[in-house]
Amino acid sequence: MRRHAYLILVHTNFGQFRKLLTLLDDPRNDIYVHVDGKASFHPEKWKEACRFSKLVFIEPRKKVYWGGVNSMRCELALLKKAVAGGPYSYYHLLSGMDLPLKDQNTVHAFFEKHEGKEFIDFWEMDGDIYERVRYYTLFPEGERNFLTHFINGLFKDIQKAAGLGINRDVDFHFSSVWFSITEPLARYIISKEEWLEKVFSHTSNCDELFLATVVWNSPFRQNLYSSEVAKNHAVNLSNMRFIDWSRGGSCRHPWTFRLEDWDLLMSVPHFWARKFDESADSLIIDKIYHHLAGNRVRRLFLMAAYDSQSKVGPALEAYVRELSAYGDVVAVMDNAVPEADLARLAPYVRYCGAVRHGEYDFGSYKRAFAWAEKHAGLSDYDAVYLVNDSVYGPLRPLGDSLERMEALGTGAFAMILNPHHRAPHLQSWFIGLRKEVFLADWFARFLEEVAPQESKEAVCLKYETGLTELLDRHSVTYDGLFRLRGRYFYNRVRASWRAGIPFIKKSAFTRHSGCLGRQIRYVLDHADDCAAAAAVREDAVRLLGREYVERLLGGSVLEMFLRYISYLRGKIIHRRK
């Protein structure tokens, strides 16, 4: 999963800033924020502002003034902090007065398609711009103060008259402050910090010059984004920001969008727009917020896992990583797993624990739910999922399956409902529950009372079938995305995949003496564009041995048939005994 870092400069309007955070809050994003040192701000009150993204407020906070050098220093501080917390595919600089216009799936898909391009909006230089950096500024943080601005101007006039100046050997360039850049360029800019401080520490309005100057005079200039769309479109797409300078009253002030700009904002191809001001028009902010966030389902996945080698295998890591794109994950393994191994899951989970409890998946669900009750704020979620790693996958994007399950409109929903004539039940390896269930006292008691059983079959009867019976007793409706009887999903690997089930049961690799090998190979071959497919192969080799897996997946039709005959023969002999 490609991850992005959002860097945000905030100085006021914290109500709209909270909405901005919510719209950027995504498992694929981390968010780094500098709050102006002049603002009254308490970061401890923002601990729960993001559920999916890591939120970091950088310290120390600098006082930022219009036109001052501290703007550059804050941007560099944000880049340094984010690079240290990365790596990330892209670093996006925004203002707290900005809002996204597109959802995060659209943003990530675009930058993945154009990976390696740098998104910076270069502008033409003129004489006034050169004066910002060619003459020594006595009070670089004082451009908005009448007295210091006057003194700065007077001192520049003296330098001009005397033929003096600074930075004569620097090839300056000019751009918008706001950018989206790659990891290599972010690191390169940080490496120039000492030079930047030397060149710009006594200049004015350098936030529009320092990055452009570095990039233009570097090899990264060759990577600047320019597409046919940008060339042929009436608006500038070079940094994917929509900023209306035509109505701002002067070239120094962009237009503040209002409700009447809604159709315009929805029609442009840009990903972000600025600026918005809740004191000028909060209705446009609310409308964009509800447009992008109003239908978002807040999900919590409780992951139960077990590994015969007491490790975090590549398949589990891939599964948890995919889940994290759609909600929060709390994982508990029924193993004593080394901390170094658990660290592989840390980027994708809110919590990960590992203890050998011997209570199978429901014991892990119990512990994950207990942690979530105490730390995660269960009432904030729309759906809680119980999922376990008895399956390999997902081998196609999971979002469609989640949306279809949630669209069933029932209190509980599963990937598969087994309509058994005696005991119909939701298969417990992927079950979703709505608030009427996961917030109910009777559900909490059900999990609290999970205890070791004498066999796996007893666990299935008491807890898997028992959960569905519990739903019946409390008149909770339930359904499955797929209704499959008996062992269909276990034995019909290829048919299940074709039907749309994005998983393979792990037991398929050893089931019936390995006679399902060609079906498994079919699925993995058709899921090659999915990152989990390679992880599944790697994990199977780790657990079963390379020779076995190669024979399993490389066998002919005849070999599959002979393996099945061998399985039947063994079963008959076993019954006779």
Q: What is the pLDDT of residues 111-124, one digit of tens each?
A: 999 999 999 998 88
Q: What is the sign of the dihedral through the CA atoms of 113, 117, 118 and 121?
A: negative
If asked whether residues 396 and 457 sit together in one domain, one would say yes
Query: CA triplet 68, 69, 73: central angle to 5 degrees?
Result: 130
Q: Residue 136 domain-assigned?
A: no
Together in a domain, 103 and 56: yes
- Dist CA 258 CA 424 (whole Å): 55
Region 5-13 average pLDDT: 93
Indicate the number of domains in the chain: 3
Distances (CA, A) of 297 to 294, 402, 434, 507, 572: 9, 10, 11, 32, 50
DSSP code for 223: G
pLDDT of the residue at 182: 96
**Do residues 184 and 96 touch, judged by C-beta distance below 8 A?**
no
Kindly give the pairing relationship between strand 174-175 and strand 122-123: antiparallel
Q: Which residues pair with 449 in a beta bridge?
A: none
Backbone φ and ψ of 92, nearest 5°: -110, 120
Q: What are φ and ψ of residue 395, in 5° steps?
A: -100, 10
Helix (H, G, I), strand (E, B), or coil: what is residue 482? strand
280-304 pLDDT, tens per residue? 888 888 888 878 876 577 899 999 9
The predicted-structure confidence for 290-345, as pLDDT tens digits, reads as follows 788 765 778 999 999 999 999 999 999 999 988 887 888 999 999 999 998 998 89
Angle at 248 between CA 246 and CA 252, to 5 degrees: 100
Same domain? 206 vs 280: yes
| Cβ 32 vs Cβ 115: under 8 Å | no
Q: What digits encode the pLDDT tens for the residues 359-383? A: 999 999 999 999 999 988 898 889 9
Same domain, 545 and 399: no
**544 and 522, same domain (yes or no):** yes
Residue where a domain stops, chosen among 437, 466, 486:
486
Residues 6+ apart with CB under 8 A from 343: none
130 part of a folded domain: no
Residues belonging to the chain: 577
> Are 355 and 247 part of one and the same domain?
no
CA 411 → CA 433, 464, 549, distances in Å? Answer: 6, 16, 40
Q: Please tell me the distance from the alpha carbon of residue 498 to that of residue 160, in angstroms, as a whole number.
A: 76
Neighbours of 94 (CB within 10 A): 24
Query: Do 92 and 4 contact (CB within 8 A), yes or no?
Result: yes
Q: What share of the chain is helix, strand, coil (3-state, %, to 5)?
A: 45, 15, 35
The last residue of one of the domains, among 293, 316, 339, is 293
Closest CA to 97 of 268, 284, 236, 270: 284
Question: CB–CB of 513/570 below 8 Å?
Answer: yes
Same domain, 424 and 571: no
As to burial, measured by CB atoms within 10 angstroms (0-12 exposed, 13-18 middle, 19+ buried), residue 540 is buried
Phi-psi region of 545 (alpha: psi -120 to 50; beta: other; left: phi over 0): left
Per-residue confidence (pLDDT) for residue 249, from 0 to 100: 58
Beta-bridge partner residues of 241: 272
Provide CB contacts within 8 A for 561, sequence distance 6+: 515
Handedness of CA 150, 154, 159, 160 (dihedral sign): positive
Which 3-state string (H, E, C) describes 271-297? CEEECCCCCCCHHHHHHHHHHHHCCCC
Is 545 part of a structural domain of the chain? yes
Which of residues 293, 328, 349 is at a domain's end? 293
Pick 507 or 148 by higher pLDDT: 507
Q: Are residues 453 and 520 in the same domain?
A: no
| SS3 assignment for 375-431 | HCCHHHCCEEEEEECCEECCCCCCHHHHHHHHCCCCCEEEEEEECCCCCCEECCCEE
d(CA 392, CA 508): 10
The answer to whether residue 400 sits within a structural domain is yes
Other CB atoms within 10 A of residue 45 CB? 9
380 within domain boundaries? yes
- Averaged pLDDT, 259-277: 93
Together in a domain, 542 and 555: yes
Report CA 428 to chain centroid distance, whole Å. 26
Burial state string for 17-34 with b = 16 or more CB within 10 A and e = fewer than 16: bebbbbbbbbbbbbbbbb
Among 95, 105, 97, 53, smallest CA distance to 295 is for: 105
Say what the pLDDT of residue 131 is.
78
129 in any annotated domain: no
Helices and strands, number each (H, E), in the chain: 25, 20
Long-range interactions of 456-463: CB distance < 8 A, separation 24+: 456/360, 459/359, 459/360, 459/361, 459/362, 460/428, 463/360, 463/362, 463/428
> Residue 22: left (phi > 0), alpha (psi -120 to 50), or beta?
alpha
For residues 399 and 383, give the distance between their C-alpha atoms in angstroms, rounded to a whole number.
Answer: 14
Same domain as 249, residue 185: yes
The amino acid present at 415, given as its one-letter code, is M
* pLDDT at res. 228: 44
Helix residue spans in 136-203 (DSSP H): 146-162, 183-191, 193-200
How many Cα atoms within 13 Å fall on the side-chain side of residue 17? 21
504 located within any domain: yes
Q: What is the pTM of this model?
A: 0.57
Residues 378 and 243 placed together within one structural domain of the fold: no
Angle at 372 between CA 367 and CA 374, to 5 degrees: 100
Summarize pLDDT for 522-557 with one digit per residue, the tens. Answer: 999 888 656 688 899 999 999 999 999 998 888 787
In a domain, 163, yes or no: no
Name which residue leads in pLDDT, 475 or 131.
Answer: 475
Percentage of residues of the chain with pLDDT beyond 70: 93
Check residue 555 and report its DSSP letter: -
Which residues span the domain enclosing 433? 297-486
pLDDT in tens, 224-261: 987 444 544 556 788 999 998 887 655 568 899 999 99
The whole-number pLDDT of residue 573 equals 59
* pLDDT value, residue 1: 61
302 and 330 Cβ atoms separated by less than 8 Å: yes
pLDDT of 248 reads 63
Look up the CATH number of the domain holding residue 188.
3.90.550
* Cα distances (Å, whole numbers) of residue 498 to 504, 524, 527: 12, 12, 11
Residue 153's SS3 state is helix
Same domain, 288 and 177: yes
